[in-house]
Every structure is written in C-alpha cells, then in structure tokens.
Structure 1
C-alpha cells in the first residue's frame, strides 16, 4: 500500500500541465499512431553467398568456451530467443538490449511472452526488477506494444487447469503496483537501467544535507582554515533555522521533481504511458467503489461477503496523495481528474466547490486529491481488510491473518507476535492443525529456506543476557513456524498443478555455489537446495523424498518425510560437501556403475534428472579443449552411456548463476535448459502443463512433420512450452 502521507503536501507541486488526451479513450492512437504496413520494394533475387567447409568449421569454434573450472562448454544455444530465455533474469544487465533485439528479430511474439514470463509469479520466474529492465527496452523500442499490454500485469489471467470445477478466480502475473513502479522509473530515468535507486530508497527524495554532522553522514566538509570561535546559539533559534533549511530543501526538491515531470510529459511516448496508468487505475476504482456502495444495501452477511469478493486490490495499491510514487509523478492528481470526469456514473457526491467558476487548477487538484483519499481509497481499504490499515491504527488484534499476503507475513510476523501474541499464536496453531490457511505461494523457496537457516541460529546461541536471549529465541522459533507453514502452502499449491514422474534432482553443493550459512538467499546454494527439496516433494513414488548431491563425489540424500523443514535442513548440513564440481561423477561413479552392476533394464532407468547448479563444472576425463575434439561434459556422459548399452537419461540443466554458459545448443534432443529461482517453471514438466502447452503449440505447426518435431524433448521446445501457456495469450505485438 502506498504511503499515507499528508494529503496536502505543501512542498509538492500537485498540479499538472494541460493533458487533453487524458480524457480521450483513443489517446494511444493520438500519441502513438499505428505505423503503416511496410510495402515491399522490388529487389533483385538473392544469390546464395559462397560457402567453404573450412571457414564453417572455424566459425563453429566461436561458440566454444570454458567454464570457470576450465571444462569445455558453449557460449550460446545458437537460438536468440532461447538465449533470451536463459539470460533475462536478475543477473544479466549489460547485454540486455543486444539480447532482446536479436530475440525480437527472430520471433517478436515469443520475445514479448518471455518478457512477461519474467514477471509472472504463477507461470514464470517472478523476477520483478529484471522485468522492469526488460520492459524498459520494450518501452524504448516498441512503446505502443508496451503500453497496450500493461493490463496483463494485474488482470487475473493465470488459471489452474486442474481446478476447472472449483472456485478458481485466477491470479495475475504481477500486481497493480507494477504500473506505478514502471511509471516512476520512467519519470526518474531508471526504467531499463541496471540499478534503480528509486526502488531501493522507497521512492524517497535524496536526503537533505544538514549542518554540524561529519562528512560521512552528509554534512559539510572540513574547513581548510581554522574555524572562528563558536558563539553559543539559542536552541530554539537553532531548531527554527534547521527546520527552515529543511523546508527550503524539500521545496526545492519538490520544484525540481515537478519540472522533470512537466518536461517528461512533453514526450508523446511518456505521455501515453502516463495516461494509460492513470486511466486503468481510475476505471477500476470506479468499478470497485460502485461495488462497495451496492454491498451496503445487501442485508444478509454471507451474501454481502460474496459480493465484496468481487473487489480487486486496486484500492490497496492505488497511489496515496503525497506517497512515494505520487511525489515523483503526481499520478494521484490525474486519477482524481478522471474520477471527477466520470462523476455522473459514480454513487458518490463530489464537493460543490469544484463547480465554482473561480476555482483555480491548484485548488481543484488539492480538493480532488483529498476527496480521493477520504471517500474512495479509505473505504475500499477498510472493506478489503488490508493488514496495513490495522497496523497503522495500532489495532493489531483486528487483523485477519488469513488475509495477510505472503511477503507481508514474512516481513511482519515478529510484529504480529509482539503486538498480538495470543491472537497470532492461536492463528499459527490453527494453521499447523489444518484449520486455517497461511499465504506462501508467491514467495521464492530460497527465501523461505533462508528464513529457516537465519532464525535457527538463534536457538542455541549463548547470550550475555539470558532473558533477552530467551525472548529472541521465542521470536526466532515463531519465524521458523511461519516459514514452515508458508513452505507447506507453497508445496500444496504446486501439487495442485500435478506431479512429476520418474525424476530426481541432482544438487550442486560445491564451493562455487556459495555458503549455506552465508546469509544471502540468492547465493546459488540456497535455490539449489530449495528446488531439490521441492522436486523431491513433487515426484511420484518411488522417486520422491530424496536427491543426489555432488561436489568431489556424489551422494544420495534420503529425506525423512516425517521431519519438519527445519530438521531436514539441519540434517543436510552434515552431507558430504567439498570444493570440487565433479558433475560427471554423478553419472560415471554412481548411476551408470550401479545400473551395470545390478543389470538394470533400460525401461527401469531413471527417465529424467534435474541438475540444479551454477553450471561451472570441472573438466572430466575424456574431455578435450582442442577445437577438433571439443566435447562438453554432457557429450562425454552421453558417449559413456551408449558404450554401456544405455540411453542417457533426459537432463534438465537448471542454471542458478550469472555465467551464461550452456552445455548444449537449442535443438539437442534429450536436454532442457531452465534458469531462475522459481518452482513455477516446474509446471512445464507436469502432466497438466504439458497437455496445455502442446495444445497451444499445435496451433502454430503447419504439418505433421513439424508437430512431431514439436514433441521432441529439447531446449527450444521446452522454452516454447513454458511461454505457450494460456495466461500469456492476451499479449499482442502492435509495433
């Protein structure tokens, strides 16, 4: 929820320049007209360029490279769209424009889906900031397409095919706040940039430098000449001067932000984005305030609740006047104008002073912003039982914990326990007994695992002050309980999409993956362990409750399903982890020797192996980095299996790092290439998802030969399955 700052922000210039297109539904055609279809000019028939086998062989060596551990590998899949799928994550920043430009040239529709898949929590990677960077490229190069698809960030378009007969209201790829973040980033010039100061300072202006503080805290630098003798100043006078300086600095910052905004609004591309965001908020706010008013006439409590479930979360995420997004964009003013323009269709009465012929634009904007806050946003937030409303009012015992979102629960469980210990404890007991639910499906599994590791360190730590230590231990235990419950919710939601048959995880626990206790949830070791644990829960028996770790030697880890996540994680610390990354040993020293020894038939071999790793494998025996005999680790493994009379298992290489190397190219049969920290991508390998995506794939195939090729298990087809989900069907390329 946006900040609840004072509605009348004296240092903020809340007005807007004249924007006539704001009230025109056809604003996009006015500001970003559709380009005329290109007419093909007559050209001479193309003559095939001459080829040379030796030169082709030399060109092929361009893709050969080495891992960080000097093993032969590849630099590209040789498919621009697949390379984009593998690199549009939270790590790659420098070459984003190049990657997206090449991908768009190969397939614009797939590339647009890849960009949205980055953001999608239910059906994609859930990488918010990476999505903003990719959207920035789309906004710069294809602005009409970018603006036309904004609604697919908050509309509930993600449905579970296994819940067709149930009350599945659907989920959105993102949320309403994405629109505000995109607009604010475009305003401050950070949309598409590598790092965003706006997102990580909470939208606050640069801190005001004050007198009398050291240079490291933003004060004045040391004097080059001896200071004059200090004259003692009256404290009240000093405070008045300081307040005056701060007020002047805020006013100056407010003026600067307003000048930036008015300058940006002269750009048709930015103006189109601005109007689109304002109109979409205003349209849904009109709908929701009408629904809320209608509910007041429904007497039956149950019927009223059913009616209120139609409310969206626009009331929660709409920008508060003077809040972090509004201070840079004045978007609240634009939304207020649009609501006032629709006043004849709304069940609320606007102040009569707005009809005065003498009212000036600033007065009108101030009144409308105040009206929006008091008579639209406040009632909607109360009706939606948003936890922040009760938290800010110190009404902790009125919070409906079952309605607290995943991230809010993760971040505020300590406050819930502190301010409402009895109520929150009772709620957690009900969750653990299955009587109530807790939100957790939108969290990344590595974040939940991080909470377990982080807070478990408080359990046995000896402190100087025993009572304080006991209190901290209680808080930590409570956080672990919350994390356990959210983990169980995550697993349950994934199981609703199906299960994975005949598959097991291979988890890289070598030194390059980072430390298990480092405190960084994005260290590759965390998502590797988390995703391995999840796969062990989603796999059908007898392939469930276990996975293989590898470093210098592979080791099978059997998981006790009766143990809690904390006990499971604590036990994993004692597995055999070393610095080496001997990937081949999993196959050459464990799986293949066991199959040969026990004469396992081909049909009884493990069908699919998921490799969660940073992909920086050691050089294996039988490999060569010579250009003529170049062979990746996977190639060596495949040859060894064939020599023993077996087909190599299907391998899903799940990249958790920023290196960008690959074991295979786009159409290598028997392999899939995935990346990111989200378990939602595992749905690609579940029965429900495979049927759905193949249905979409058949629409774009032209004959049976192509349909057969689309059935092959290879990196390109797996990528296409992941973006051919119906939730992405609404995306359109228009420029």
Structure 2
C-alpha cells in the first residue's frame, strides 16, 4: 500500500527555492511499508527519466516548478498518477476518470469505506453515469455484475445523499435486480447497514453452540448406554451357597427399591422439564410480541419524523400495489405468462420484512382503499385489508406462479414442478429434493441431461456452480454439471469469442473466493472461444505455461485448473515474453497473433521491468514493437477480482478494457466483437442498454 502526502503552499515555495539554488528537491513524501515505493505523474517530465532534472536549464526548472504547482495545487480528475503494486511493479493508481475507477475497483470484497469514497468521487465527476454504474452493480441480467452487497451499500448512500433520486428510480431498480431489493433497502435503513453481517456472525455463534451442545448430548447418551451395558453384563451365574443366594436376593430387593425411587425421580424431573419448557415458550412468545411492537413503533416514528423515509416507503409500497393489481388483472384474463414476481417477493404477513417495515399494511391499503372511514376504525380496517392482501392477492398469484416454496411448505413434494425452480433455489434446495422426492428429481435430471427438459442457471455466478462440486451426493454434483452446461449454452447463443485466451491468476494473493472466480471465469472463456484456443488457459508463474485443460466433466476440468503449476509469482510480462518467443521462432505473421487476452487477477503483478517507471502494459507494447509486432499487440481485458489500488492502464488507452466483478455477464461485451477497445468505451458499453436509459438524476 502506498500512502503519500502532497506538499502545501509553504513547502512548495521552499521546493521552488531549492530548485533555484540547485538543491536536491523532495517533491513529496512517500510513506510505505516498502521504502522503494514511489508515486509519479504519468507526465514524462516528472520522475526518473533519461534526462535528469539536475541537468536541465533554469527555464526547465521553472517549468518543472510550475508543473508541480499545477499538479498538486490544482488537482484534475484527468490525472493518472503512478505508484507501485504490492509486489513493487510500476502501476497507475487511477485511470484518470473517477467513474471508471469505480467501475474497475468495486468488487464483492471491497470494504464499505472504500466503496463510499469512490462513489463520492464518481458522483462528483458525473452523477448520471455513476447512477448507471450503481445499478450495473446489481444487474443480474445483461451486463450487470450481480453484486448485491455492494449495490445495497451504494443504495443506502443514495438515500443519505440523494434521496429523491433513489425514490424516482424505484421501478427501474426493481428491474435491475428483483422486487425483494426494495423491502431489503427499507429493512437495512431500519435495522442498520450492517444488519446482515451481524446476523451472520450471530448465526455462526448459535450454530457453533448448537454443535457443541449436540456433542455433549451425544457423549452423555453414550456414557449412559455404556453404563447400562456394563450393568447388564455383570456376573449372573447362580451362586451355589445358600448364604450367597440370600445376599443376592437382598441386593435384588435393594436394586428394585432404588429402581422405583429412580423412576419417581425421573418422572419428577420430566415434569419439571416439561413445565420449564412451557414457561420458556411463553416467555419467548411474550418477548417476540414485545420485539414486534417495538419494531412497529420504531417504523412509525421514523415514518412520521423523516420525510425522506416516508417518501421512499410510500414509493415502494405504491410500486408493489401497482404491479400486484396488474398481475390480478392478468390472472383473471388467464395471461399467466405476463404475471410478474411481485407476489413472490412481496413481504408475507408477520414475517421479518413485514415486522420491520409494515409494508404489507401499506400495500394492502393501496389495493383495498377504505371507502367509508366512519364504517370501521383504523385498527379494524388495517387488520381486514392485511388479510385481504394475503387471501385475495398473494395466495392466488403465488399459486398461479407455481412457486416451489408453496409446494415445499405444503409438503407436496410429489407434485413440485422442477422446471419452475429458479437457479438459486435449485442450488439451495437440491438436497431437500433428493431427500423427499428422490425418484422424481433424479428422473428430472435425466431428462435435462438428455435435452428433454431444461434447468435454470442464469442467476448463478460461475464460481458458485463449481463450488457445488464439493458436494458428496451424486445428484447434487449432477445439478452443478447440468447448470454449468446450461450457462455455457446460453452464452454461446449470444456469440463466440474468436482468437481469445484467458490468463488465470491462482497465486497466493488470490487465495479464497477470488481464486475460485479466476478458475471459473478462465474455464468459462476456454469453453466459449473457438479453435485453436478452445480449452486452453495460461497461468501466471515465473515460467508461464499454456495448458490444454484435461477432463470430460466439469469436476475433472475444475480440478485440473486448480492444480495447474502456478507457484506464488505473478510475472505478467513473462506471459507475453513466451508468446513473442514462440511467434519469433515460427516466424508467425502478425495477423495470426493471439487477438485477445482475458486477465483474471487482482492486478498486483511482480516487478519485471528494467525501467522502474514502466508499467507492465507499457513494457508489453515496447517488447512487441521491438519484435516487429507493434500493430499486433493483443487486446487485453484486465478483469479485477480483488480490492486493490493497482490500475494497469489509464482511461483512454486503446486496445485495453478494465472490468471487474464475479459475474459472467460482462463477457457478453466481447462476444463476436473484434472492434477497437478502450477502458472508457468498455465501461460505456456496459451501461448502454435500454434499461439504463430509464434512470434519472433528480437531486
């Protein structure tokens, strides 16, 4: 990490004086874990160059001082500042475009504070583009990144800083993600931005305690079983002597009395435990009722005291009401395919969302307005319309949608329509399907494999699918295999990648989810590209290798990519050195050079250039030019997978794209597309769809 402090006006004046007296200048202070860390402008007049500043004339010194003044006292959003990666390779620290910085740097593991800072800079630069990028975070279709958590953080920032813009775009926001996003935003506003993280931590603790208690109970049960076994195995042989028989009889009588006493004690303990459990349940019910009332009071206070919250709450409930009424009309007209998923994601009565947001009451009142206020009081009216919402709206619409949850909750497994199960629901519930309806579910999977039926995969991220390969049951692994095939088939219908190759970073800095994503996306590109590069990937290493992926199943292919020899290095330039070496050896014509490389990495490349201020991309262009391939430098898609400050190229660099995230959707930008690239053009293409044209900035 590079931390820098710019000089203020007094220090700058002192710096000018040092130039005039030919003293060694200190342009800025660099504070880093690595003493060699540096920060420079991309302007060739700054930093170590072939012509040292100490050899310049007085005029050049004055010009340099003026440049320093402009650079650090009049900061421009177009500046591209250089620094070092975590591995001491020269890199840019910004693209020069705050919107592009936001687009390239925000990934699912980006800290909240970093996201907010980049969001503020991006909004100040271009509000409408930033709004589109926020929605691009959420987009599950098209070119969206399917990054829900980052989107929710950005949405809460919008509520705080631009509430009218958030309210005005509620219908569009629901289209980018799903209807559930709307109550989720309200829920986080009421319960706190970190409520989901807190719940996960609490659940982890509860789960851990449950495991510990389960172990204790099993140990106690085993101990009691061993004691009984030992007792039953005691010597039962008849004693010959009369005295011994009498003693045995007496002991038997004593044991029987003890047994009777034990039974009475056990019975008493059971009754005490039963009464205690009953009291515990009653107290729990009372506590739940208390929490429910407190949540309602909290919501009402917020609604009445905060105009922005009231406006947002009204807009969300209004949107649900409008969609539900349209769906009822479509249901009556038997236009089932036109029914939206509003009923599926509308909060259920007295469940979590409803308790925290009271949305059910607000929605119900819009669908069933009170005709005569004098006829019933407000409490009776609210109770009645909530029931009407459930019985007359949600129940019939959910039944028409054939939602798997309806069949599962009713324990009607034998009639569950598996072809209606969404991709995420299939991933989460496949073990239940195998448990409760094994024969039908396996028959369905067989039909999918033979092409008779289909399985959903659209909402899943590639690494989520390959993550399911760790499951132990054969049926669960088969689901992952079939969903991967569906994902690849859907992508191929949109186009193919011509003359493309992926470079997968599986180095130590990528440990965890980023590495899984690198493997999954690299494998996906290898299956989408045409020959001769189909089924091939390159690894980062001190000695990069081009691998032909082995295996017939997804499990085998994934295992191969994970185990590729990559070491701990990320020598990016060596990849291109190998390409040039092969091209030079076989006298490859420039037009046959690899056209496009996808680099799935965290951008923290190793130092590899003899020139400390030359970035990896600059070095690649130089090497290709020196070998006579200056016009055949491959287009490079730098795909960022981890929170990082490194930026390989500035915003307007031709032949390069900067993208990020864990979703496969952005790959569609490069299907059957051999045109010119630049980072800014790629970003604009990602937010150019018709759904983005509906967005508007109000405040």
Task: Judge same fold: TM > 0.5, yes or no.
Answer: yes
1:637-659 alpha-carbon deviations (Å, 9 max, x no partner): 22111111112221111111111
Q: Does 1:529 align with 2:544?
A: no
Distance 1:342 1:600 in 2: 79
Equivalent position to 1:580, from 569, 594, 619: 569
**Structure 2: 5+ residue runs without aligned partners?**
1-62, 214-267
Please give the residue correspondences for 1:163-562 in structure 2 after superposition, counting only pairs within 5 Å: 173-190=176-193, 196-197=196-197, 200=200, 234-235=272-273, 237-265=275-303, 266-295=305-334, 307-341=335-369, 357=374, 359-452=376-469, 454-455=470-471, 458=472, 476-514=473-511, 523-559=513-549
How far apart are 1:325 and its partner, in Å? Answer: 0.3
* Residue pairs, 1:676-715, within 5 angstroms: 676-687=661-672, 713-715=677-679
- Residue of structure 2 equivalent to 1:84: 102
1:622–1:636 CA contact under 8 A, matched in 2: no
Change over 3 Å in CA distance of 1:572–1:201 after alignment to 2: closer
The Cα shift of 1:256 comes to: 2.0
Secondary structure at 2:146 match in 1: coil
TM-score by length of 2: 0.77
- Which structure's CA Rg is the greater one? 2
2:67 — aligned with what? 53
Work out whether residues 513 and 614 of structure 1, in 8 Å CA contact, stay in contact via their aligned partners in 2: yes
1:89·1:676 contact (CA, 8 Å) conserved in 2? yes
CA RMSD of aligned residues (A): 2.8
Structure 2: distance between partners of 1:74 and 1:577: 25
What secondary structure is seen at the aligned counterpart in 2 of 1:94?
helix
Contact 2:348 2:354 survives alignment (8 Å): yes
User: 1:409-448, CA deviations, whole angstroms, 9 ceiling, x for partnerless residues?
Assistant: 0111111111111111110010000110000011000111
1:400 to partner: Cα distance: 0.8
Kindly indicate whether the alpha-carbon contact (under 8 Å) linking 1:185 and 1:198 is maintained by their aligned counterparts in 2: no
Shift of 1:568: 1.4
Deviating above 6 A after TM superposition, structure 1's stretches of 4 or more consecutive aligned residues are 57-62
Aligned to 1:700: none
1:505 is paired with a residue whose SS is: strand
Structure 2 SS opposite 1:609: strand
Aligned residue pairs: how many? 569
The answer (yes or no) to whether the contact 2:89–2:605 under 8 Å persists in 1 is yes
TM-fit CA distance, 1:282: 0.9
- Taking the aligned partners of 1:67 and 1:617, their CA distance within structure 2 comes to 7
1:89-120 CA-partner distances (Å, limit 9, x unpaired): 32221133332222122211111110000000
Q: Residues 417 and 598 from structure 1, CA distance in 2 versus in 1: closer, same or farther, beyond 3 angstroms? A: same
Do 1:86 and 1:660's aligned partners in 2 also have CA atoms closer than 8 Å? no
Inter-partner Cα distance in structure 1 for 2:434 and 2:387: 34
Q: Secondary structure at the match of 2:338?
A: coil
Alpha-carbon distance change, 671 to 382 in structure 1, aligned in 2, over 3 angstroms:
same
1:673 is paired with a residue of what secondary structure?
Answer: strand
Contact 2:549/2:560, CA 8 A, preserved across alignment = no
**Matching residue of 2:610:** 622
| Partner Cα separation in structure 2 for residue 55 and residue 130 of structure 1 | 37
**Structure 1: gaps of 5 or more residues:** 1-48, 156-172, 215-230, 296-306, 344-354, 459-475, 515-519, 625-629, 691-710
8 Å Cα contact 1:550-1:583 kept in structure 2? yes
Using the TM superposition, give the Cα deviation of residue 573 of structure 1 relative to its aligned residue in structure 2, in angstroms. 4.4
Q: Distance in 2 between matches of 1:570 and 1:239?
A: 50
Q: Which whole-Å CA distance do the structure 1 matches of 2:272 and 2:478 have between them?
A: 54
Find the residue that maps to 2:537 and give its secondary structure: strand
Report which stretch shifted further, 668-677 or 540-549: 540-549
Q: Partner of 2:116 in structure 1?
A: 97
Tell me the residue number matched to 1:719: 683
Is residue 509–residue 551 contact of structure 1 (8 Å, CA) maintained in 2?
A: no
Q: State yes or no: 1:113 paired with 2:132.
A: yes
Q: Is the 8 A contact 2:573 2:616 kept in 1?
A: yes
Distance verdict in 2 for CA 1:602–1:198, change over 3 Å: same
For 1:413 and 1:576, how far apart are their aligned partners in 2? Answer: 34
